[in-house]
Amino acid sequence: MMRIGVFVNPYKEFIQNHFSQILESILKQGMEVYCPQDIVDSGLKPAADCQVIPAKEIPARCDMIFCFGGDGTVLRTVQIVREHQTPILTINVGGLGFLTEVKYEDFAQALKLIQAGNYIIEERLLLQGVFPQSNHPMVVLNEITVEKGRSTRVIEVRVEIDNRYFNDYVADGLIISTPTGSTGYSLSSGGPIVVPTNNCIILNPICPHSLTNRPVIIPAESKIRAQIFTDFPQVIISGDNQDIREVPSRTILEITRAPFNARLVKYPNSDYFALLRNKLAWGEDFRNKLRWSYNR
């Protein structure tokens, strides 16, 4: 019997209205279902045969995770799964859903494919950020962001790569992104789009003081050492906007590739380039046609 963990965003109206239906559809396939305790505590009612346990215990017990939501829900799920590397099937019930594989209306068909073993596992690079005096590394699928926090002035981030001095970024912040995260915050800050199965890391300054400071792509095995300088007592380090920490100025952050990957369940014919075209609306004409029409 296949064991499935179900992670959702309990605050989405769609989930509130369809949660029991989702669980029943999985149980009807003869699968064993596990739900996180915090989801039940939020007010969602699980099906009678669903086992409710703490979220952090689910990845070790399950063969696969079904994640219902948008990109934020996927990022939260990866934060929980971490080193267990349990495969994650992502079902979009959110907005853009760049990280999601399956539309909810196609979920019944996806269940049949999973039962038949007709799917592939795509490995995605994760980054790990280590802080001094902390035994809990920051692990991210998209990016680690150094932000100026409540300060209104730019900060300075001194970066070393593989123990060699690289640059002093004077900017509003610095994004250290995975290929998966290249279409997230990094893209909106002028970074490149990188095919997510590539092995590399993107360094992308946020509003740099020097216009010659441009995004740089470095090897995935690089060891990055970043020290933050600011006149303000605290700065913010954000991991996928899920793990957010306020740290003192002059904190040293060491970032490397995590020793494990995220494993995303994909259709055998999954097409990333079609995803780019559809999600980013490439080729569409955004002009207001009425502006060019004089027959009104």
Name the DSSP letter for residue 283. T
Please confirm, yes or no, whether 49 is among the known catalytic residues. no
Q: Where is 13: in which H helix or E strand?
A: helix 13-27
| Residue of 38, 41, 71, 243 marked catalytic | 71
Name the DSSP letter for residue 30. T
Sheet of strand 138-140: strand arrangement: 138-140, 127-130, 252-257, 224-229, 155-161, 164-171
Reduced to 3 states (helix: H, G, I; strand: E, B; else coil), residue 189 is coil
Pair 252, 227: CB distance under 8 Å: yes
Pair 206, 168: CB distance under 8 Å: no
Q: How many Cα atoms sit within 13 Å of 228 on the Cβ side?
A: 29
Q: Which of 106, 115, 88 is nearest to 8 (CA)?
A: 88
Q: Where is 94: in which H helix or E strand?
A: none
**Which amino acids are annotated catalytic?**
71
